[in-house]
Amino acid sequence: MKWKVCGLKFTENIKDVVALQPDFIGFIFFSDSKRFVGENFQMPSINTKIKKVGVFVNSNLAFIINKVEKYNLDFIQLHGDESSTFCEELKQTLSITINTKKIGIIKAFGIDINFDFNKLLIYSKLCEYFLFDTQSLNFGGTGEKFDWSLLKNYKLNVPFFISGGIGLSNIDEISTLKLYFPHLFAIDVNSKFEKEPGVKNIDELRKIPKSILEL
């Protein structure tokens, strides 16, 4: 099981998180988020084994490409209402503009009882991963867990991240979830491991059971 720590913005805190060696770290480039990195964000040096993910919400292509180049991002997480057409255009633009390495795309979807998993099919050839979060008008950040049993409606082979309200009180449930959903690739932790928005609680992150990460 891979793990991602998202919503980082402060240099020293980023360095402390990096020392824990998560597989992915996320930086939010959405100005309406409490965890927005800001206009003058400086990326510290990060081990290349840890993949840097830029989180975008309904951004235009030029903005995304600029951040990918400026911060040497490894993945783009599209957390808004981005269409499959946009994902295709982004993938094509990346292949032309960033030709030194492949940039992966993670498409996020807010899940609730009304979510139609059939709409994911058109994205399945365009994204390396999906990310399932709790449905929110604010595009995530609820700190609430969605009903994980709804994942029974997911029938594709694209591996996925699970996000939304994952904390020490429920992280043990991931073991059972992995048994039923083998395409569960990674957990994405954020607000339940914070002292305040954008400041991760390192002591709490250290308590994530190794048994979960070894799944």
Q: Which structural domains are found in the chain, ordered by start? A: 2-213 (3.20.20.70)
Q: What is the DSSP-derived secondary structure letter of residue 102?
A: P
* Predicted confidence band of residue 99 (pLDDT cuts 50, 70, 90): confident
Give the pLDDT score at 138.
Answer: 74
Please report where in the chains the tokens 């039923």 appear, as a residue.
Answer: 180
Give the pLDDT score at 108.
Answer: 97
> Mean of the pLDDT values across residues 100-106?
93
Instruction: Give the whole-angstrom CA distance, residue 46 versus residue 19.
Output: 9
> Mean of the pLDDT values across residues 130-158?
90
Q: 205-214: per-residue pLDDT in tens?
A: 999 999 999 9
Contact indicator for 37, 9 with CB cutoff of 8 Å: yes
pLDDT at 140 over 80: no
Instruction: Give the whole-angstrom CA distance, residue 9 versus residue 42.
Output: 9
Contact indicator for 7, 190 with CB cutoff of 8 Å: yes
Give the pLDDT score at 12.
Answer: 97
| Half-sphere exposure in the Cβ direction for 9 (13 Å, CA) | 20
Q: Which tokens is 76 given?
A: 């783009």
Average pLDDT, the chain: 95
Percent of the chain with pLDDT over 90: 93
* Predicted confidence band of residue 30 (pLDDT cuts 50, 70, 90): very high
Contact indicator for 74, 53 with CB cutoff of 8 Å: yes
pLDDT at 98 over 90: no
**Helix and strand counts by DSSP (H, E) for the chain:** 6, 10
pTM above 0.85, yes or no: yes
Instruction: Give the whole-angstrom CA distance, residue 5 versus residue 17.
Output: 8
Contact indicator for 128, 99 with CB cutoff of 8 Å: no
Q: 108-125: per-residue pLDDT in tens?
A: 999 999 999 999 999 999
Contact indicator for 22, 210 with CB cutoff of 8 Å: no
Give the pLDDT score at 61.
Answer: 97
pLDDT at 145 over 90: yes
Instruction: Give the whole-angstrom CA distance, residue 186 versus residue 184.
Output: 6
